[in-house]
Amino acid sequence: MDKEKMDAYKNRLEEQRGRLMREIASEEKPTDFGSDIDDSSEEASEAEEFANRTALAQTQKNELLEVERALQKIEGGTYGICDNCKNEIEEEALSVAPESALCTNCKKKA
């Protein structure tokens, strides 16, 4: 992979990392549901919202780990190489998801 493409992927990954970090911080902010406890359905709704936000934050953290790993691979000179078969990851796969760690064939097998 040439340096220009590598730099473009690095920039996309860094932007993605920043976005994810902002989103995670937003999702993890405690929500002030107030102190009024009128009925159990309101409490259930609040608990469900909290659970949904926690799950979303965890998904974003997992995505952030993939982005961080891809950035480490760029620094280590192994970016674009499949973790499984060690072949090159297809350009079209990287253009869709620059954090990809597997080539198309290995993704199909997983």
- Mean of per-residue pLDDT scores for the chain: 89
pLDDT at 90: 96
Residues forming beta bridges with residue 38, ordered by sequence position = none
pTM, to two decimals: 0.81
Residues 42-51 pLDDT 10s: 667 777 887 8
Give me the residue spans of the domains in the chain: 3-79
Residues 52-91 pLDDT 10s: 888 888 999 999 999 999 999 999 999 999 999 999 999 9
Tokens of 41: 């359905």
Q: Which residues contact 20 (CB under 8 A, 6 or more apart)?
A: 60, 63, 64, 67
| CA–CA dist 16, 41 (Å, integer) | 37
CB–CB of 93/100 below 8 Å? yes
Residues 8-55 pLDDT 10s: 999 999 999 999 999 998 887 766 666 655 666 666 777 788 788 888
Per-residue burial over 2-20, b if 16 or more Cβ lie within 10 Å, else e, is: eeeeeeebbebbeebbeeb
